[in-house]
Amino acid sequence: MLLSHLTFPDRARLGLAKRTFPIKPSKFMLVDILEIGLVKPLINQVHVPSITRPKIIPDFALRYPAKEEFCVFPPYQVIFACENPVCSCKFSTSIYKDQFGEKVLIKCPSCGETILFIAGNEIFIEDCTKQLWGEDALSNIENLPVELVSPRIAGKVYRAEKTEEAERALFELEKEGENRCVHGLKKSWCSNCIAKKKEEKSLKGSDLFDLIFPILMPPPGRNLDSPLFFTGEKTLYPFQRDGVKFLAEHNVALLADEMGLGKSIQAIIAIRILIRTGKIRDSLIICPKSVLGDWEKKLWEWAPELSVLTVRGSPEKRLMWWKAIAHIYLATYETVRQDFGENLASNGENIEKTSFNLVVLDEIQKIKNPGADVTKTVRSIKSDMRWGLSGTPLENRIEDIISIFRYLKPGLLRDMDGISPSRVKGGIAEYFLRRRKKDALPELPEKFHEEKWLDLTDTQMERYRKAEEEGIVDLNEHGDSVTVQHVLALITKLKQICNIDPVTRESCKLEYIEEKIEEICDEDEKVLVFSQYSEKTLPYLQTALEKFSPEIYHGGLSERERDEIVGKFQNEETPKVLLMSVKAGGLGITLTRACHVYHFDLWWNPAVAAQAEDRAHRIGQKKTVFVTSLFTNGTIEERIEELLRKKRALFTEVIDDLSDTKLPKILSEEDLFSLFNLKRPSLKSDLKEKVGDHRGMTLDPKSPQEFEKIVSQLYNKMGYNIKLTQQSKDGGIDIYAKRVSESGSEYLAIQCKHYPNSVVNVEQVRALYGVVQSEPQLTKGVLVTSGRFSRECKEFARGKRLELFDRDYLLGLLGKYEL
């Protein structure tokens, strides 16, 4: 067999095809050398898949000449780049050999621009393979950046004066040709426009470069007294440095220093360290409304480089605040309850920011009640670190601590741990720090307690006895249906008479303190007078003590008014006397100008009184503080005090470590009944049976009026004083109910809807909410129905000052109260 008879693959298999060489980038020719010289050489070509077309980068190919370049034959393909700078498109066209040396006009297919072209042999490359014609010859040219381009620059100048200049410039923009505002003034002259602009600016909060400013500050180091860290003469006490270290090193911490030892300052410095070292970026501080201004002031004094946003104002404004950038967001429990509560209800549609690096709860005992809305809302806020601050984390029961730690460190304590205080103490030891004034601040002036037992005036005594006798008769008339609310209402009435006779305005306590205040003012010292009755007692005291120009501080004042009063009392000569609601003035604020404190009456819980008097006995106080509690002999005050004294004796040392108060549970219901030699009526144990008796029987046949009557009786049984409104023109309210309890007074607006087997819709709940909103003195609105509530109703009521009682719940209450 001749070799030439073999096919090329066969020859290749036999190893007879030995050499290959490329003829073009995309082709290879194989030559069978054995046949050279023997016969006419047989040339075989094998098609090799073409190599992917190269991408030519303009920085290499760089600029294309107007007419050029890859040309193939025949005909010659020439690529042109349009000379029109707007078009610049590339296109190819054929040039034939007979056009060489001639002037050819080429027209751009896109824009129609004409290019004059003279073809010359020298610019052409001859291509031997027809296969490379057309597309393959026209390389696709793409732009790929080789050169790195300069990045944009961002940043900030931090010199204070520059910022001020910029702010000034904001309002001095134009001088001439300035547009007039809607108020008809030049924009830079109009106070309304300037105020609006300022507000808009403040609503934007800080920028990103304000956020990193503390990180750019020199590191705080270990020495917290470094002048680089604090401005002015501010320094920390050694025990405060320990507290700062404790907080900064713990993701979960409860700082429970005794009141007046500067818990908030320690927290601020710890936050400052964490932010300056880049460990956290933001934090949320939640505090009671009464101390919001105090926190603002302390943050400004102790952490001036941090940007602080106080979230307050209208819901729309608050929404803006939550969106703004800041290191510290400062808000009250109520604000958080409203904003994040609604956020929860709307699945986070309102507030985007639902997590913080750190959440600090001042007076953390506010979330001790696990069922309260505020507790649920605060627990829903995500955070990496959680700190609690409280002088009295345990106000009443060991369960308070368990509840607090359920937020701080979920899973650490269980409900059953409450039976063993030592187990609770051991469990929280790692996360708990508490120092007492006597240990931490031996140099703090002493605090002397004194009880002053006074006799009621004759008129007062007469009024008191009459009220007590009538009250006891009334309680007895209630029989088994008497509740603790009835007892509390009577106690309140009697205590108010002990303070001041409501008719003659006689008061043994007033006579006493008037004389004392005169002496104190002569010595150029100041006095705090606390009472729990901000409406019944404090206004009367203000009138009676007018010669001392007293100011009243109570919960009804705005934050600005509160701050003004505190500032005036601390910094100015007058007022000499500050009359304070024990609840409003009991937390956070500093009133060290006073060294005399009078408790005109005492709250049920001594911890509250202690909180109040420590407004004066705290860091900054240079004089001994004299605290006097006023009691009246032979009255309910004496009996209550006696009961409390017995309770204190039973208090264990374990609990004492956790609280300022020595009271396991303030007063039980049995205790309260015993004040009037009454026994607490026993409740029927089998409520279910009772409920069953009522189910479907009691409510259905009633008319709307009878239904209202049932509801009013129920609330009366629950200890409320009831006022029924007119049948017509009732303003959307059927019943007003009021009661005084251990935790304050409650004022309800009740609307009854007798819709058996029917559904109450959302419009009716909206109407009630409108009434509640228009009457701020109302605690909440209650809608009671003999039917059911629609889903929209329940959703609308969630997180608002509204309560809905449907048929089942109402029957349960009727059974419980044996109606």
Which residue in 616, 606, 452 sits closest to 528, CA to CA?
616
342, two tokens:
């609604």
* Closer of 38 and 208 to other proteins (Cβ): 208
* Closer of 212 and 687 to other proteins (Cβ): 212
* Closer of 35 and 282 to other proteins (Cβ): 282
* Closer of 36 and 166 to other proteins (Cβ): 166
Strands in 551-553's sheet, in edge-to-edge order, are 447-454, 625-632, 594-599, 526-531, 577-581, 551-553
3-state SS string for 762-786: HHHHHHHHHHHHHCCCCCEEEEEEC
Which residue in 536, 506, 464 sits closest to 472, CA to CA?
464
CA distance 515 to 557: 29
Per-residue burial over 767-778, b = 16 or more CB atoms within 10 Å of its CB, e = otherwise: ebbeebeeeeeb
CA distance 220 to 685: 63
814, two tokens:
């009727």
* Closer of 213 and 747 to other proteins (Cβ): 213
* Closer of 23 and 215 to other proteins (Cβ): 215
Q: Are 517 and 581 in contact (CB under 8 A)?
A: no
Work out how close the CB of 212 gets to other proteins at its nearest, in angstroms, rounded to a whole number.
4
* Closer of 154 and 473 to other proteins (Cβ): 154
85: left (phi over 0), alpha (psi -120 to 50) or beta: alpha
CA dist 649 to 603, 653, 663, 670, 812, Å? 19, 11, 9, 18, 40
CA distance 193 to 199: 10
Work out how close the CB of 226 gets to other proteins at its nearest, in angstroms, rounded to a whole number.
11
Work out how close the CB of 155 gets to other proteins at its nearest, in angstroms, rounded to a whole number.
3
* Closer of 51 and 146 to other proteins (Cβ): 146
Helix (H) or strand (E) holding 334, with range, is helix 333-345
Work out how close the CB of 209 gets to other proteins at its nearest, in angstroms, rounded to a whole number.
7
* Closer of 22 and 278 to other proteins (Cβ): 278
Q: 803 has which bridge partners?
A: 782
Work out how close the CB of 707 gets to other proteins at its nearest, in angstroms, rounded to a whole number.
58
* Closer of 278 and 315 to other proteins (Cβ): 278
Per-residue burial over 217-247, b = 16 or more CB atoms within 10 Å of its CB, e = otherwise: eeebeeebeeeebbeeeeebbebbbebbbbb
Work out how close the CB of 174 gets to other proteins at its nearest, in angstroms, rounded to a whole number.
24
Which residue in 96, 58, 64 sits closest to 79, CA to CA?
64
CA distance 322 to 499: 45
Q: Are 783 and 765 in contact (CB under 8 A)?
A: yes
* Closer of 195 and 208 to other proteins (Cβ): 208
Work out how close the CB of 248 gets to other proteins at its nearest, in angstroms, rounded to a whole number.
16
Work out how close the CB of 211 gets to other proteins at its nearest, in angstroms, rounded to a whole number.
7
Work out how close the CB of 171 gets to other proteins at its nearest, in angstroms, rounded to a whole number.
22
CA distance 382 to 378: 9
DSSP conformation class of 122 = G
Work out how close the CB of 57 gets to other proteins at its nearest, in angstroms, rounded to a whole number.
8
Q: Which residues contact other proteins by CB under 8 A?
A: 144-146, 148-159, 208-209, 211-213, 215-219, 228, 277-278, 281, 325
Work out how close the CB of 152 gets to other proteins at its nearest, in angstroms, rounded to a whole number.
5
Work out how close the CB of 358 gets to other proteins at its nearest, in angstroms, rounded to a whole number.
15
395, two tokens:
């106000």
Q: Are 505 and 552 in contact (CB under 8 A)?
A: no
CA distance 138 to 133: 9
* Closer of 291 and 351 to other proteins (Cβ): 351
Q: Determine the 3-state secondary structure of 43 from DSSP.
A: strand
Q: What is the CA radius of gyration of the chain?
A: 43
